[in-house]
């Protein structure tokens, strides 16, 4: 575990708001967006204690994604997708605080290289990029098929300068006995990435992006995943957390992720915010009651 605690400046919010109002216009200053002030102080939530897997649970507007963004910004984690930030966000982040856990020799950990926040937007962008690249490669394959016939059976390319180098190189490849038409097209146009369902593609994204000995913030990673895919993601995250030196801070309301072995869960729907077991959460109870009502259909 790398990150041990994170402190929100809930006791300083009044001062932060007054300072911003003064900056905006002195005694008549007006603040357009007070967020995230009031979001956590109203529920007396100012201190977070982490485990290898820590989960923020809650409905829309509960602040779970905001917490991830505050942590990611304070720790300066790598990120791709932008996030919404109001005029108070930067000041709020500056007054957050955190402490790192100790390693086996008694030294404070540092944030591991490559640590990052991953959002659902990152995964959707990945899916779109894969599809866009495949479309481009598909068009290139059509051109490569035509080029193959011209180079293999047409006149020999005359080399008159470096501008002819790539074309001559392609002709040599087309006429090699050991190179088939399919190999020529693949080498010239490239390989398309195999497209699966959105859930399988999302799972492949995590397989390729998550590495050992790294800290990750994951914002609703279960998006686009079927229950079966979510269970596979759970297995992956548990193995990385318990055996491969990873720490995960996750925002989710998926019962499969909430039930991960050893996870500490903060219920952001409760007032004040409390640490709960996964089976005590309202979302999980809702699923339970639903299946209890239809229990006879499964027997």
> Are residues 156 and 249 located together in one domain of the fold?
no
Reported confidence tier of residue 198, pLDDT bands at 50, 70, 90: confident
**Winning range, highest mean pLDDT, from 94-103, 156-165, 194-203:** 94-103
Looking at residues 12-37, what average pLDDT do you find? 83
Tell me what pLDDT residue 123 has. Answer: 84
> Are residues 147 and 289 located together in one domain of the fold?
no
> Are residues 228 and 106 located together in one domain of the fold?
yes
> Are residues 239 and 287 located together in one domain of the fold?
yes
Tell me what pLDDT residue 223 has. Answer: 87
Note down the domain range covering 260.
Answer: 3-114+211-298
Q: Who wins on pLDDT, 214 or 123? A: 214
> Are residues 144 and 189 located together in one domain of the fold?
yes
Question: 227 in a domain, yes or no?
Answer: yes
Q: What is the pLDDT of residues 60-99, one digit of tens each?
A: 889 999 999 999 999 999 998 777 778 899 999 999 999 9
| Spatial distance between the Cα atoms of 73 and 181, rounded to a whole number of angstroms | 51
| Spatial distance between the Cα atoms of 68 and 291, rounded to a whole number of angstroms | 32
* Sequence-ordered strand ranges (E) for 105-231: 116-118, 215-219
pLDDT at 191 over 80: no
pLDDT at 136 over 60: no
Count: domains in the chain: 2
Tokens in use for 88?
């108070």
Q: Who wins on pLDDT, 123 or 174? A: 123
Could you say which of 210, 228, 259 is where a domain stops? 210
Reported confidence tier of residue 36, pLDDT bands at 50, 70, 90: very high
> Are residues 159 and 102 located together in one domain of the fold?
no
Q: How far is CA 9 from CA 14, 31, 58, 139, 167, in A?
A: 10, 18, 21, 54, 63
Q: Who wins on pLDDT, 266 or 203? A: 266
| Spatial distance between the Cα atoms of 55 and 51, rounded to a whole number of angstroms | 9
Label residue 146 exposed, middle or buried (CB < 10 Å: 0-12, 13-18, 19+): exposed
pLDDT at 257 over 90: yes
Looking at residues 115-141, what average pLDDT do you find? 71
Q: Are 46 and 11 in contact (CB under 8 A)?
A: yes
Quick one: which of 192, 193, 195 has its CA closest to 141?
A: 192
Reported confidence tier of residue 244, pLDDT bands at 50, 70, 90: very high
Percent of the chain with pLDDT over 70: 76
Looking at residues 187-196, what average pLDDT do you find? 55
> Are residues 151 and 197 located together in one domain of the fold?
yes
> Are residues 254 and 110 located together in one domain of the fold?
yes
Q: Are 67 and 56 in contact (CB under 8 A)?
A: yes
Question: 122 in a domain, yes or no?
Answer: no
Tell me what pLDDT residue 177 has. Answer: 55
Q: What is the pLDDT of residues 96-115, one digit of tens each?
A: 999 999 998 999 999 999 99
Tell me which residue has tokens 């007070």: 34
Residues 81-113, buried b or exposed e (16+ Cβ, 10 A)?
eebebeebbebbbebbeeebeeeeeeeebeebe
Quick one: which of 39, 43, 22 has its CA closest to 31?
A: 22
> Are residues 69 and 139 located together in one domain of the fold?
no
């Amino acid at each position: 575990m790398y990150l041990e605690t994170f402190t929100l400046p809930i006791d300083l919010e009044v001062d932060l708001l007054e300072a911003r109002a003064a900056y905006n216009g002195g005694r008549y200053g007006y603040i357009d967006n007070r967020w995230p002030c009031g979001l956590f102080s109203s529920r007396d939530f100012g201190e977070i204690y982490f485990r290898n897997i820590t989960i923020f649970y809650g409905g829309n507007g509960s602040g779970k994604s905001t917490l991830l963004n505050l942590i990611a910004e304070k720790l300066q984690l790598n990120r791709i997708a932008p996030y919404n930030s109001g005029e108070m966000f930067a000041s709020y982040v500056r007054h957050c605080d955190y402490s790192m856990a100790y390693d086996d020799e008694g030294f404070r950990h540092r944030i591991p290289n490559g640590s990052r926040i991953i959002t659902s937007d990152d995964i959707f962008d990945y899916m779109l990029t894969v599809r866009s690249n495949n479309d481009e490669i598909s068009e290139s394959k059509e051109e490569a098929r035509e080029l193959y016939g011209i180079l293999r059976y047409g006149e020999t390319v005359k080399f008159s300068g470096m501008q002819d180098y790539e074309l001559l190189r392609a002709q040599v490849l087309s006429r090699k006995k050991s190179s088939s038409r399919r190999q020529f097209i693949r080498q010239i146009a490239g390989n398309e990435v195999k497209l699966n369902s959105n859930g399988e593609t999302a799972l492949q994204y995590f397989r390729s992006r998550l590495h050992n000995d790294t800290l990750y913030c994951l914002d609703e990673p279960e998006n686009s995943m079927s229950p079966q895919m979510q269970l596979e993601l759970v297995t992956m995250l548990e193995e990385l957390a318990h055996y491969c030196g990873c720490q995960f801070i996750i925002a989710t309301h998926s019962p499969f992720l909430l039930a991960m072995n050893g996870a500490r869960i903060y219920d952001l729907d409760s007032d004040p915010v409390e640490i709960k077991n996964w089976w005590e959460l309202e979302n999980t109870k809702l699923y339970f009651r639903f299946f209890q009502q239809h229990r006879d259909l499964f027997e």
